[in-house]
């Protein structure tokens, strides 16, 4: 691969780390320097980014925002147990193949009509191209589709940790060489390598081979400042006063001993909820009645409900 | 600059963050892309390329600061040197006389371009008027002494001395001896000055060696200490070891979890799943293109731990519980019971309270009174019998010293029959089993496995074996 050719294709949004930050900000995604650097390097080193971190911190959203910012299609593949190549790479259109054989039956019969022996008929048939196993009968699945985009694309492989280990191995060819091999046709290489984003919730440890091929990005819960900026972008209606108290409270809740910590998406949901309820500040009763928006486990809700006052005061102090 | 990067990668490797060759190449390309100019960008960029997990990222971030702050200092030093007296490596202008200096033990000539007396040069260095030159001299002496090979903190004295020798401290010491032997006030004054120089240099060299130890040696030493600790009996652990042990246990637990978290199901090739095959091929007019095989799901490991928390075994129980607790998130359903004179379900305090507090509460609750295994098994069977089913491994930790009470073998047998497996871990060596009030030998026939478990390595092996039964 020549660096010169690559450089020419660099979209404006990927020209520098700052450009990436700005491009993402334009789509409403507030990126930390780590995130922007990872996206920048992903393009320039032509490597996939593996994003790990707790649920709801914006892993999937990053891919969506990059696609939006670059004005490229987002091709998404959700992983799950039992996902295999026929669902990820390609599949033959069996139905169409069957239908065509039926329709072309007469035509084929006509072709081999004047052959005397079976051998000769077979010989005649092999003279033609393998029509039934050609591109026309190939159903591209997400990975192949991403290779075929002439404008470039963002390929999101979501929750890779949910897939089986065999599937990881399957991904290796796609991720390191940006090509897909279909035995009947040959190797299909990407015209423009897609920008690949993998996300993982770490329900299982990923294989080393996969990790080595990726850039690694860990997104954690944001600090209060960043979280406030994110909520402000996503929920512009929120008043500064409410925003500050709400973020402080959520930050305080993350310090508690609970099973499922609230993440940014929950904070945003909560902000929206409070707007709908016309709240402009937090009081213990209001917090208690809307606690189920940020906490998803009954035991967690019970745990925090008993401490709402203390957490509100604590958050207050931290905020001043 | 390339050398800077390769040496940094070497430092990362010795700190325990695996860096493969491909990654090293990626790092070089990364540097090409982002450049050396912006340190913040360089740090995050190298972080995404070289570190492949949160732990590695932490190592990287820490080491980057350590390494590149030093690198910046010596680069500045190199510049200062160049500006002053030309290329430091090739010519040493004005150093000609130094070679002919009659001082004994003049190994390396004078450092820097001061010329003349090496001892004077050392004194000039020690005064720290030219920090660039000092850093340069330290760097050179460090390379000659091989400080990068440091592995243990106790080696630092040796390396400091070696560096001092390379810098020519022997000449200084000789003059010091000579000045002292003169026994004149002037001699003593001179000696005082020389001692000052010497200790100032020594301080610098020590700081240099310690910084290198942080980069190259610290983790090697840690690994070595862990290795020793893993083989040491729990009973012999001191207070100071506990923290290190906790970290070690957590890492081992993580390793086990990774090993056993995989493959929760097996494809049972050979048995057709007719219903799902039909459904999958409905689109093909029922022609079975895709064959779906039956899938066998595997049991999730379920462990019921029954721990003796009387004084003699308490220390062992701590680490077993710590280990099990660390595993719990990933692999197992865990119920914990503690007993001494009577038995109590302690799963809840362990889950909700911080570990140390929970342990204290447990020991306070059940830790007193004479140990009675028979009574404990009876209570387990009577009050909590339903937690033991055919998927359960019952894990008993104790020395089997029951103060000559009835061992209730009938109850024990019933528990063993009910469970999938019954594993007994005993802190005592096999030679002591059955001696005195130990009824281990009587319990033995009902155990799937009875083994000595006194070090964290034993513990890991035993738990590995337990989890293996579910694979």
Q: In terms of DSSP bridges, do strands A49-52 and B421-426 run parallel, antiparallel, or are they unpaired?
A: unpaired
Give tens-digit pLDDT for B231-282: 777 777 776 777 778 888 888 888 887 777 665 556 666 788 888 888 888 8
Determine contact: A201 vs chain B, CB below 8 A: no
* Whether pLDDT at B82 is above 50: no
Top residue of B26, B48, B328 to mutate, by most chain A CBs within 10 Å, is B48
Please report, for residues A42, B60, B388, B390, the alpha-carbon distance to residue B31 in angstroms, rounded to integers and kept in the order given. Answer: 14, 16, 58, 58
The residue of chain B nearest to residue A200, with distances taken between CA atoms, is B53
Chain A partners within 8 Å of B285 (Cβ) = 95, 98
pTM comes to 0.68
**Contact criterion met (CB below 8 Å) for A239 and A275:** no
- 259-288 in chain B: CB under 8 A from chain A: 261-262, 265, 283-285, 287
Tokens of A229: 């900026």
Determine contact: B22 vs chain A, CB below 8 A: yes
Beta bridge partners of B306: B337, B396
> Among B67, B73, B110, which residue's Cα sits nearest to residue B88?
B110
> Among B359, B284, B347, B345, which residue's Cα sits nearest to residue B317?
B359
Q: How far is B299 from chain A (nearest CA, A)?
A: 17
Q: What is the mean pLDDT of chain B?
A: 79
- ipTM for the whole complex: 0.79
Determine contact: B20 vs chain A, CB below 8 A: yes
Note whether B47 contacts A212, CB cutoff 8 Å. Answer: no
- Number of Cβ pairs < 8 A linking chain A and chain B: 70
Nearest 5°: phi and psi at A86?
-70, -20
Closest Cβ opposite residue B30 in set A41, A49, A165: A41
Chain A partners within 8 Å of B41 (Cβ) = 17, 33, 37
Q: Which residue has the higher pLDDT, B268 or B158?
A: B158
Q: How far is A272 from chain B (nearest CA, A)?
A: 32
* B273: CB partners within 8 A, 6+ apart: B292, B293, B294, B295
Closest Cβ opposite residue A211 in set B29, B30, B52: B52
Q: In terms of DSSP bridges, do strands A186-189 and A179-182 run parallel, antiparallel, or are they unpaired?
A: antiparallel
pLDDT in tens, chain A (320 residues): 444 444 446 788 888 899 999 999 999 899 999 999 999 999 999 899 999 988 888 899 999 999 999 999 999 999 988 888 888 888 888 888 888 888 887 877 787 777 788 888 888 777 666 677 788 888 889 988 998 888 889 999 999 988 887 888 888 888 888 888 888 888 888 888 899 999 998 777 788 888 888 999 999 899 899 999 999 998 998 888 889 888 999 998 888 878 888 999 999 999 999 999 988 888 888 888 898 998 988 888 888 888 888 888 765 554 44
Give tens-digit pLDDT for B185-221: 888 888 888 888 888 888 888 888 888 888 777 777 7
Note whether B45 contacts A94, CB cutoff 8 Å. Answer: no
């Amino acid at each position: 691969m020549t660096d010169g050719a690559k450089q020419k294709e660099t979209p404006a949004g990927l020209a520098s780390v700052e450009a990436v930050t700005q491009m993402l900000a334009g789509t409403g995604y507030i990126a930390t320097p780590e995130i922007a650097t990872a996206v920048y390097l992903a393009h320039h080193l032509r490597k996939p980014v593996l994003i790990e971190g707790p649920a709801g911190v914006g892993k999937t959203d990053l891919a969506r925002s990059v696609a939006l910012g670059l004005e490229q299609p987002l091709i998404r593949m959700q992983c799950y147990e039992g996902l295999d190549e026929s669902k990820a790479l390609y599949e033959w259109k069996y139905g169409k193949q069957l239908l065509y054989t039926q329709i072309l039956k007469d035509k084929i019969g006509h072709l081999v009509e004047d052959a005397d022996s079976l051998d000769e008929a077979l010989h005649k048939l092999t003279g033609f191209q393998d029509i039934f196993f050609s591109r026309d009968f190939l159903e591209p699945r997400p990975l192949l589709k991403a290779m075929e985009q002439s404008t470039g694309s963002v390929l999101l492989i979501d929750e890779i940790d949910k897939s089986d280990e065999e599937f990881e191995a399957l991904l290796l060819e796609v991720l390191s060489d940006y090509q897909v091999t279909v035995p009947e046709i040959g190797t299909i290489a990407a015209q423009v390598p897609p920008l690949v984003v993998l996300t993982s919730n770490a329900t299982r440890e990923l294989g080393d081979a996969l990790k080595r091929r990726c850039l690694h990005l860990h997104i954690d819960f944001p600090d209060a400042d960043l979280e406030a900026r994110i909520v402000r972008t996503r929920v512009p209606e929120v008043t500064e006063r409410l925003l500050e108290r709400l973020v402080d409270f959520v930050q305080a809740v993350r310090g508690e001993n609970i099973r499922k910590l609230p993440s940014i998406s929950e904070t945003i949901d909560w902000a929206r909820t409070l707007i709908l309820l016309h709240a402009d500040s937090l009081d213990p009763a209001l917090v208690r009645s809307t606690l189920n928006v940020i906490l998803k486990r009954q035991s967690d809700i019970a745990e925090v409900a008993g401490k709402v006052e203390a957490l509100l005061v604590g958050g207050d102090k931290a905020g001043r | 600059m390339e050398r800077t990067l390769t040496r940094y990668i070497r430092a990362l490797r010795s700190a325990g963050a695996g860096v493969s060759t491909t990654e090293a190449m990626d790092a070089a390309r990364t540097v090409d892309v982002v450049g050396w100019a912006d340190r913040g960008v360089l740090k995050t960029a190298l972080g995404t390329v070289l570190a492949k997990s949160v732990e590695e990222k932490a190592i990287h971030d820490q080491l980057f600061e350590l390494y590149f702050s030093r690198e910046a200092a010596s680069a500045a030093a190199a510049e200062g040197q160049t500006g002053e007296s030309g290329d430091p490596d090739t010519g040493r202008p004005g150093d000609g006389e130094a070679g002919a200096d009659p001082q004994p033990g003049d190994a390396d000539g004078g450092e820097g371009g001061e010329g003349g007396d090496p001892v004077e040069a050392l004194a000039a260095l020690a005064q720290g008027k030219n920090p660039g030159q000092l850093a340069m001299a330290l760097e050179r002496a460090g390379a000659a002494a091989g400080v990068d090979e440091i592995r243990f903190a106790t080696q630092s004295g040796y390396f400091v001395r070696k560096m001092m020798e390379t810098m020519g401290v022997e000449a200084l010491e000789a003059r010091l001896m000579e000045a002292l032997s003169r026994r004149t006030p002037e001699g003593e004054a001179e000696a005082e000055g020389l001692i000052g120089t010497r200790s100032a240099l020594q301080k610098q060299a020590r700081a240099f060696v310690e910084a290198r130890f942080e980069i190259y040696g610290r983790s090697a030493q840690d690994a070595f200490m862990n290795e020793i600790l893993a083989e040491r009996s729990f009973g012999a652990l001191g207070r100071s070891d506990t923290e290190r042990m906790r970290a070690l246990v957590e890492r081992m637990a993580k390793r086990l979890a990774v090993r056993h978290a995989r493959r929760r199901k097996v494809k049972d090739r050979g048995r057709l799943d007719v219903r799902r095959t039909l459904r999958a091929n409905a689109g093909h007019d029922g022609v079975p293109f895709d064959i779906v095989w039956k899938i066998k799901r595997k049991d999730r490991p379920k462990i019921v731990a029954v721990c003796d928390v009387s004084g003699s075994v308490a220390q062992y129980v701590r680490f077993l519980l710590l280990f099990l607790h660390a595993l719990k998130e990933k692999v197992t359903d865990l119920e914990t019971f503690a007993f001494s004179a009577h038995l109590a379900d302690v799963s809840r305090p362990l889950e909700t309270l911080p570990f140390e507090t929970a342990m204290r509460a447990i020991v306070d609750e059940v830790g007193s009174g004479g140990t009675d295994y028979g009574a404990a098994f009876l209570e387990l069977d009577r009050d909590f019998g339903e937690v033991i089913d055919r998927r359960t491994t019952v894990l008993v930790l104790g020395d089997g010293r029951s103060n000559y009470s009835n061992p209730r073998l009938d109850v024990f047998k019933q528990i063993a029959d009910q469970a999938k497996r019954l594993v007994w871990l005993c802190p005592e060596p096999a030679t002591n089993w059955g001696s005195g009030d130990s009824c281990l030998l009587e319990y033995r026939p009902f155990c799937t496995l009875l083994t000595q478990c006194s070090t964290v390595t034993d513990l890991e092996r035993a738990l590995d074996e337990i989890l293996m039964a579910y694979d």
